[in-house]
Copies of this chain bind each other. A is one copy, B any other.
Amino acid sequence: MSGNTAGRAHYEELDRADRLAAFREKFDLPEGVIYLDGNSLGPPVKAVQGGLDQAVSGDWAKKLISSWNQAGWFNLPTELGDGIASLIGARPGEIIVGDSTSLNIFKLATALLKPDGNRRKVVVERGNFPTDIYILQGIVRLFEPRFELHLGEHDEIPGLIDEDTALVLLSQVNYRTGRRFDMREVTALAKTAGAPIIWDLCHSAGAFPIDLKGCGVEYAVGCTYKYINGGPGAPAYTYIASESIGAFEPVVTGWHGHARQFAFEVDYDPEVSIKKALVGTPSVLSLIALKEALSVWKDIDLNAIRAKSLALTDAFIALVEDRCAGHGLTLLTPREHDLRGSQVTWSVKNGYEIMQALIERGVIGDYRAPDAIRFGFTPLYTRFTDVYDAVTHLKDVLDTQEWRNPEFAVRRTVT
C-alpha cells in the first residue's frame, strides 16, 4: 500500500471492534458484493419475507377484508410514522406514512402556499433532487402568475429567504454532493422571515441523528427506501409538528383523512390528527415490508450510526486520495463533518464508465450525471473492509483503464 493510509489488516481490526457489526446479520445481502448504494435502495432485512408471508397467507387470505381492523392495517400509516419519529427527532403522532415523497411535497406545498396572501417567492436549491423542483414548478404553473420559483445555489439560499418568501423547500442533504444544510440555522431564518419551510429528509433520515423538534421544524417529508431500507418504492412519510397540525388545511382531501371515514358523509371534514394528511387507501404490502425494516431500528443508537458513518466516509476519502491519486478525482462532498451526510461523491471524467467497471467487479455505487460517482455508506451493514476493498477495486479500474471497455459506452447510450 501507499503512503498515508494503513493496510487491510487495520480495517479488519476496525470491523472487529465495530459495535454495530452484528446488525449486518439482519440483512439479506448477496455474497461477494460491496454495496455502496444503500442511499439509493437499501437491501431487505431478513424479516421482510416472513412479514409478507404472514400478511398474504395469514391475514389477507385467511381473514380477508377483516384484516383492515384485525391485522391492524388501518393503523400502519400512524404506527410506522411513530417508528420513523424516533429516527428524526419527532414525537409520536407527528408522522404519517403513505404515498411518495413527490406527492407528499405536493400535499404540503399546496396547503402552505396562500394565494390570498402577498408573498410571491418559492425558494428551492437549484441542485436539489429534481422531483422536488418539478413538483413546485407544477404548483407555480397551477397558480400562474401568482407565485415565482426562485432557484439558488446552496450558499445563496439564506439570501433568498425574506418577507416576500411564500415557501422554502430544502433537502437537508444534497443527493448528488452529500452537502448538508444547517437545519437549525435555516429553519430559524425562515421563521424570522415568516416563511414556511419544508425539509426533505430523503438523504438524511437513518443516516445520522436529526432533531426536528430541537430545530423547530414544522414540516418535513422523506422516503423510506434509502437508509431506512423499506423496499423498492416503499411509501414515504409526512411530518407536521403537533402544534401545527391543527391549522394545517389539506388541499388533497381523500377519505382516509376524513374524521369519520366510514360514515360516508358527503362533506369532507378532516381528522384532527396527523391522519388528515392521508388521502387514498395505502398500499398495505409495501407498508408491511417497511414495518419489518423499521423493527431493526428499534434498539439503535443514532449517535453510534453517525460515528461509524463518519469513520467510514473519512476512511474512504483518505484511501481514495492516497491510493487513487493522479487519476483526476475531485471530491464534491464537503470534508467537514457538520457539512455532510453519509455519502461521498467524486467528479471524474468518464465517471459513467468507471462506475460500470466497478459494478462489474461487484462494487455497487452509482453515477449521477454529468460526471459524478457516488458512494453511500450505511453503517448498519457496511464494513470497514468493504471500504478498503472498494478502493482497491477503484484503484485497479483506474490503473488498468478497465473502464475503457466499449460495452460500457454502449450501455451509457441506452440508460
Q: Which residues of A contact B (CB under 8 A)?
A: 28-30, 33, 35, 37, 40-41, 43-44, 48-49, 52-53, 56-57, 60-68, 73, 99-103, 106, 110, 126, 129-131, 133-135, 137-139, 141-142, 151, 176, 223, 225, 231-236, 250-256, 258, 262-268, 279-287, 289, 359, 364, 366, 368-369, 415
Query: Which listed residue (B53, B60, B254) contacts A135, Cβ 8 A?
Result: B254
Q: Are A28 and B43 in contact (CB under 8 A)?
A: no
Query: Which listed residue (B142, B268, B289) contacts A138, Cβ 8 A?
Result: B268
Q: Are B60 and A231 in contact (CB under 8 A)?
A: yes
Q: Are B283 and A252 in contact (CB under 8 A)?
A: no
Q: Are A281 and B368 in contact (CB under 8 A)?
A: no
Q: Are A28 and B103 in contact (CB under 8 A)?
A: no
Ordered by A's residue number, 6 sampled pairs between the chains whose C-beta atoms are within 8 Å are A28-B56, A37-B65, A60-B231, A176-B264, A223-B281, A285-B289
A283 to chain B, nearest CB (A): 4
Q: Are A134 and B258 in contact (CB under 8 A)?
A: yes
Q: Are B52 and A56 in contact (CB under 8 A)?
A: yes
Q: Are B369 and A253 in contact (CB under 8 A)?
A: no
Chain copies in the assembled complex: 2
A270 to chain B, nearest CB (A): 9
For the complex of A and B, 4 pairs with smallest distance between CB atoms: A100-B280, A102-B280, A102-B254, A131-B255
Complex Cα distance A283/B230, Å? 10
Task: Please name 17 further chain A to chain B contacts, defined as beta carbons within 8 Å, in addition to the given A232-B284, A285-B289, sorted by A numbering.
Answer: A29-B61, A52-B52, A60-B231, A99-B99, A99-B280, A100-B281, A102-B254, A103-B252, A103-B279, A129-B255, A130-B264, A133-B268, A137-B268, A138-B253, A231-B284, A236-B280, A285-B286
A370 to chain B, nearest CB (A): 9
Q: Are B103 and A254 in contact (CB under 8 A)?
A: yes
Q: Report the nearest B residue to A368, measured CB to CB.
A: B264
A169 to chain B, nearest CB (A): 14
Known: A61-B30, A100-B280. A68 touches B255 (CB 8 A): no
Known: A60-B232, A103-B280, A280-B103. A250 touches B138 (CB 8 A): yes
